[in-house]
Amino acid sequence: MSSNKKVLIHYLFHSGFAVEVGDYFFVFDYYDPSDRKTDSRINDAEIKRKITECKYPFVFVSHGHHDHFSPTIFNWKDNNPHLTYIFSSDVKWEDNISKNNLGISFISMLPYEYVEKNDISISSYGSTDLGVSFLVEIDGLRIFHAGDLNWWHWADESTKEELEEEEWKFKNEVAKIREEKIDILFFPVDPRLGEHYWLGGAYMLELFQPSLFVPMHFGDNPEISRKFSERMSKSGVPIFEIASKGQIYELLII
């Protein structure tokens, strides 16, 4: 990187985060649950303000599952002419928006594609579920949002062969990324996996040794982030322990 960078990371909900760095504002996998309208409207209004005020806003959607893709994101399209939407190719965004919005960019990505826009680079990688994962680089800062890429070890619901297949799928996908440097790593730590919630996160943390690990995909159970942090306390990697929506983590990248 050309100089030190202050990064602000806002926890929105579930796998939804906003990242502020310099002139850029990134929103990943915004989720707007129907039973949280009042709460989520606060996030929506704040995001609209940030998008209006920043120079280059980007909105990322890793895949079309309802807990990663909310049509609310299209409410922001008129707030900044430089807004860019980056979608996994499975997302049916055309059903929600006209392509005739002057200045707004809509980019659809399959796994293993690369695009550049407004001096950032975006690489898409695969998933062990639906859609893609994203690696975003801005002035040397590299942010990875996993989407639904995870080691899905459903021990109570799977045969031994199925568990081995899930492990292979995960490690095979990560092998395609392993040469990449990652500074900020957003990755699922899902309590539904029971005692195996930590497997994928620990594998990624130890492999990439990021400047910050950000747990996600835990819905109404943010306390799992503290549990994961305690388990990985000897890793030497800072972990964002999330307690509530709207929480902010400030990171200085040197």
Residue 40 — pLDDT band, cuts 50, 70, 90? low
Distance (Å, whole) CA 132 – CA 209: 22
Residue 43 — pLDDT band, cuts 50, 70, 90? confident
pLDDT of residue 32: 80
pLDDT of residue 34: 67
pLDDT of residue 102: 46
pLDDT of residue 70: 92
Distance (Å, whole) CA 55 – CA 53: 7
Model confidence pLDDT, tens digit, residues 109-153: 999 999 999 999 999 999 999 999 999 999 999 999 999 999 999
Taken in order of first residue, the domains within the chain and their CATH numbers are: 5-253 (3.60.15.10)
Distance (Å, whole) CA 174 – CA 18: 24
pLDDT of 96 strictly over 70 = no
User: How large is the average pLDDT for residues 249-253?
Assistant: 91
pTM score? 0.94
